Amino acid sequence: MTGIVHSATGQRVSPDLSEHTTNSQRECQYEMSSLSASFVQIPFDDIRFYENCGGGSFGSVYRAHWVPQDKEVAVKKLLKIDAEAEILSVLSHKNIIQFYGAILEAPNYGIVTEYASRGSLYEYLSSADSEEMDMDQVMTWAMEIAKGMHYLHAEAPLKVIHRDLKSRNVVLTADNVLKICDFGASKMVSHTTHMSLVGTFPWMAPEVIQSLPVSETCDTYSYGVVLWEMLTREVPFKGFEGLQVAWLVVEKHERPTIPSSCPASFADLMRRCWNAEPKERPQFKQILSTLETMKNDSKLPDQCNSFLHNKAEWRCEIEETLERLKQLERELSCKEQELEERERRLTEWENRLMERSRSCTPVSLASEELI
């Protein structure tokens, strides 16, 4: 029989087994906030698993069939049930993935949500179909993501910072609607604003990379990168490892390249989202207002469509930037090697000095080559 997990107590309640809690069942229990939320416990045997359809934060995602409901679902398998279920259980918005319940039978923990049959936005932007995108599509999806994020920050029962907004965590339903998913890295603001290092470097705000206290505008930064992806259909910092991106973003203040022919209103919005000072980035209410103004600009559709459909003319600008950054990274690597070599030779000199001191043999500092 389906049970309920109550947020106030964290207890699993079953009409038949409420007085017979085993050790394995106790492991299912976890600390919940005082928020008055509850979610359905779905028996593991009620789920028929199909293929792996991706990886979320801290778990793999499978397409599955929820047999009693005769419903196609997505199941994120987990090592344990954590705050993601609590967060999802209180969210309800057309641009947030719908949560159905959780599997709490050790070791088969999982989160069950609606299944988005068209895959992630990242997959779509990597496909040939994306070459047909026009401004109407970009604007519609930009608005949908912004509405979902505005809900999380300002309209949900408790403010939620996503912290891992990226094109892989935005999925496309059969009716072409975008939904934000994967809240494994998310935090309710009432819990803490000092975040550990989570997320994916090319989409992460500088303060998140540095594990500094954050505000909801760290999601604004990530939104700017997703908007850049939709406009360019490129991968941010393509070819760079995570720590290389972290160094470029934090130390060199680099951002994804905005081609010179990108419409000014889109370019300005992205730059505002990427401001190094979190307080200077727009809230999603402001972003939605900006997008509405852009929709009323009669000249923008022609400008945007010309940009979208003439990628061959400006793609070289992105490639040139990537090559410049690779050269910068190579120069840094050479300097690091030089410093390592100097450190090694200095250590050798110090060792020889110690040996000669023990043997009372005079040594001239000038006669030793340090560098």
- pLDDT of amino acid 57: 52
User: Rounded to 5 degrees, what angle do the CA atoms 242, 314, 292 make?
Assistant: 85
Asked if 180 and 145 touch (Cβ cutoff 8 Å), the reply is yes
- pLDDT of amino acid 120: 94
pLDDT in tens, the chain (371 residues): 333 333 333 333 332 323 333 333 333 333 334 333 478 899 999 999 999 987 655 568 999 999 999 999 999 998 888 788 888 999 999 999 999 999 999 899 999 999 999 999 999 999 999 999 999 999 999 999 999 999 999 999 989 999 999 999 999 999 999 999 988 776 655 444 444 444 589 999 999 999 898 999 999 999 999 999 999 999 999 999 888 899 899 999 999 999 999 999 999 999 999 999 999 999 999 999 999 999 999 999 999 999 999 999 999 999 999 999 988 878 777 766 767 777 777 787 778 777 777 776 555 544 445 44
- pLDDT of amino acid 188: 57
- Residue 207: what residue type? E
What residue segments make up the domains of the chain, in order of their start?
28-114, 121-314
- Residue 86: what residue type? E
Active site residue 45: no
Numbered residues of the known binding site: 168-169, 182
Residue 9 burial (CB < 10 Å; 0-12/13-18/19+)? exposed
| Distances, alpha carbon 175 to alpha carbons 117, 118, 120, 178, 179, in Å | 9, 9, 14, 9, 11
| 28-114 CATH fold | Phosphorylase Kinase; domain 1 (3.30.200)
Over residues 69-123, the pLDDT tens digits come to 999 999 999 888 878 888 899 999 999 999 999 999 989 999 999 999 999 999 9
Segments in the chain forming alpha helices (H):
23-28, 83-89, 121-125, 135-150, 206-209, 217-232, 242-250, 264-273, 284-295, 300-308, 311-358
Strands 38-41 and 3-6, bridge-based pairing = antiparallel
**Catalytic residue (one of 46, 164, 268, 302):** 164
Q: CATH second-level architecture of 121-314?
A: Orthogonal Bundle (1.10)
What is the Cα–Cα distance from 162 to 322, expressed in whole angstroms?
28
- pLDDT of amino acid 335: 64
Matching residue, tokens 């979208």 = 308
Matching residue, tokens 């409420």 = 18
Numbered residues of the known binding site for ATP: 168
Asked if 13 and 29 touch (Cβ cutoff 8 Å), the reply is no
What is the Cα–Cα distance from 53 to 51, expressed in whole angstroms?
6
Numbered residues of the known binding site for Mg(2+): 169, 182
Over residues 187-209, the pLDDT tens digits come to 655 444 444 444 589 999 999 99
Asked if 176 and 151 touch (Cβ cutoff 8 Å), the reply is no
